[in-house]
Structure 1
Amino acid sequence: MKKVIKIAAVSLLGLAFSVAHADENAIRQALGKAMPSVTVGAVKPSEISGLYEVTVGGNIVYVSDDGKYLIQGHLVDVAARTDLTEEKLGGARKQALEKLGQDKMIVFKPKTSKYTVSIFTDIDCGYCRKLHSEIDQYMAEGITVQYLFFPRAGKGSDSYHKAVSVWCADDRKAALTAAKKGDTPPAKTCVNPVDEHMQLAEDFEVKGTPMIVTEKGNIFPGYLPAKQLAEALADEQGKK
């Protein structure tokens, strides 16, 4: 009798696995057909039966098991008062930034680095300029700053062309610092990651600049003074 129960349990487990695999394939095929330009990452069952959690770039969406319906928004555990989606978004953002790679960012690094943040910036944004004018203060706090471009006026705008010119400059850091002071960088073009930065900003639902992303993928929207940011990063790492 025990042997029969064991065999039945194994069979049910195999059936569940095959159904889940079939659902994942259906979702990938449906999304691939409807949105061919979208790169689908992990697909796994969500906390709601029949609804799958799908990683798209640095974002998370929810899709029905047949791939017919997609829901954008946050899944909240009402009883626990916990935003389940936000908890997982940090990991998705972190992976997306790691996939992009530091070689596609403009990096200001102190001699001794305690923390690393990725900052979406617009050359013509006032608070972005204020933040960069204090870059030495961030370095003094041991904060490595990885810049990504998000020209809010969009592709083809003056801010976009400035971003491309800065990236294509012989000395990117010097060119960025000069541009942040109001100088117009000499027009240059080359292979650049600005469009990738903008796509990532869209995936991260960036609404304004600067937007700071921590090593754990958490977000601090807007300008934060160096000491305040260092305190927040220490809290995140459990050092306070």
Structure 2
Amino acid sequence: MRRLLFPVLLGLSAPALAADVPEAIARQLQQTFPEVRAEQISPTPVPGLFELRVGPQIAYVSADGRYLVRGDIIDVKSDTNISEERRASARLAAIDDIGESRMIIFTPKQVKHTISVFTDVDCGYCRKLHRQINDYLAQGIRVRYLFFPRSGPNTDSWAKAEKVWCSADRADALTRSKRGEALTARPCSPTPIRQHYDLGLTFGVTGTPAIITDTGELLPGYVPPAELADYLNGKTAG
């Protein structure tokens, strides 16, 4: 039964169960999954079904705490993915928890939108995106970079990300690294690479670039500057 929980959930720490959660649910969850400390358990539009959220991960639990359900709740009347709306909100909160001081940020003169981009210095489409960074800025898109070396820890791509972070001018170092230049920065500690990488995993990121919009939507892959601006403007207008 323990396998019903998404694997990432068991590895995260969070505050204890909310005080207003029905006692039966809290008791059953804590007995069956003692590792779980849910950030939030709240009612859903479905009678008798409660939302269980840890970070950006969402599942649902029955009122008696016996059944755990993975999947999305869709309001067919309004054609709204309620689960995705909740995940989007959770993504934004999780990124905010990282803090901008632990990101590499490129800011336009006039900010219309802010995106967060999981990037790998050795990824071809990440390099293409960054070659057009001035075009994104011209569209009023503020770009916040988080590292996601696809090869994982203890690899060359990971080491390159560390060197970028340990450079005196991180923005310039990122640009040079994405051009294929070798950096000579000395190791430093701590770096946010592991934190960025683990966050990407909880979001379900498997490839790069992976863009989180200012509404919390996850866009996998490269999106050209003008196309992305049109999309973001449309979301704002909607």
TM-score by length of 1: 0.82
Aligned residue identity for 1:211 = A
1:26 aligns with 2:34: no
Aligned residue identity for 2:235 = E
Secondary structure of 1:40's counterpart equals: coil
Secondary structure of 2:237's counterpart equals: coil
Task: Using the TM superposition, name which of 206-215 and 76-85 deviates more.
Answer: 76-85
* Counterpart position of 2:58: 60
| In 1: Cα distance, 2:149 partner to 2:21 partner | 41
- Aligned length, in residue pairs: 219
Aligned residue identity for 2:127 = R
Residue 58 of structure 1 contacts residue 200 of structure 1 at CA under 8 Å; is this kept in 2? no
Aligned residue identity for 1:34 = E
| In 1: Cα distance, 2:28 partner to 2:106 partner | 41
Aligned residue identity for 1:102 = E
Secondary structure of 1:25's counterpart equals: helix
- Map 1:1-240; keep pairs closer than 5 Å: 20-23=21-24, 25-26=26-27, 29-30=30-31, 33-35=34-36, 40-65=38-63, 67=65, 69-78=67-76, 80-186=78-184, 188-238=187-237
Deviation at 1:42, TM superposition (A): 1.6
| In 1: Cα distance, 2:23 partner to 2:202 partner | 27
Deviation at 1:24, TM superposition (A): 5.5
| In 2: Cα distance, 1:128 partner to 1:229 partner | 15
Structure number with bigger Rg: 1
Residue 117 of structure 1 contacts residue 143 of structure 1 at CA under 8 Å; is this kept in 2? yes
Deviating above 6 A after TM superposition, structure 1's stretches of 4 or more consecutive aligned residues are: none
- Cα distance change, pair 24–167 in 1 and its aligned pair in 2 (3 A): farther
1:121-175 per-residue CA deviation (whole Å, 9 max, x = no partner) reads 1111100000001111111111110001111111222111111111111111111
Task: Using the TM superposition, name which of 106-115 and 74-83 deviates more.
Answer: 74-83
Secondary structure of 1:199's counterpart equals: helix
- Cα distance change, pair 184–65 in 1 and its aligned pair in 2 (3 A): farther
| In 2: Cα distance, 1:33 partner to 1:198 partner | 26
| In 2: Cα distance, 1:177 partner to 1:169 partner | 12
Residue 31 of structure 1 contacts residue 67 of structure 1 at CA under 8 Å; is this kept in 2? no
Q: Any gaps of 5 or more consecutive residues in structure 1?
A: 1-17
- RMSD over aligned CA atoms reads 2.3
Residue 119 of structure 2 contacts residue 126 of structure 2 at CA under 8 Å; is this kept in 1? yes
Residue 27 of structure 1 contacts residue 63 of structure 1 at CA under 8 Å; is this kept in 2? no
TM-score by length of 2: 0.82
Residue 105 of structure 1 contacts residue 148 of structure 1 at CA under 8 Å; is this kept in 2? yes
| In 2: Cα distance, 1:58 partner to 1:67 partner | 21
Deviation at 1:118, TM superposition (A): 0.4
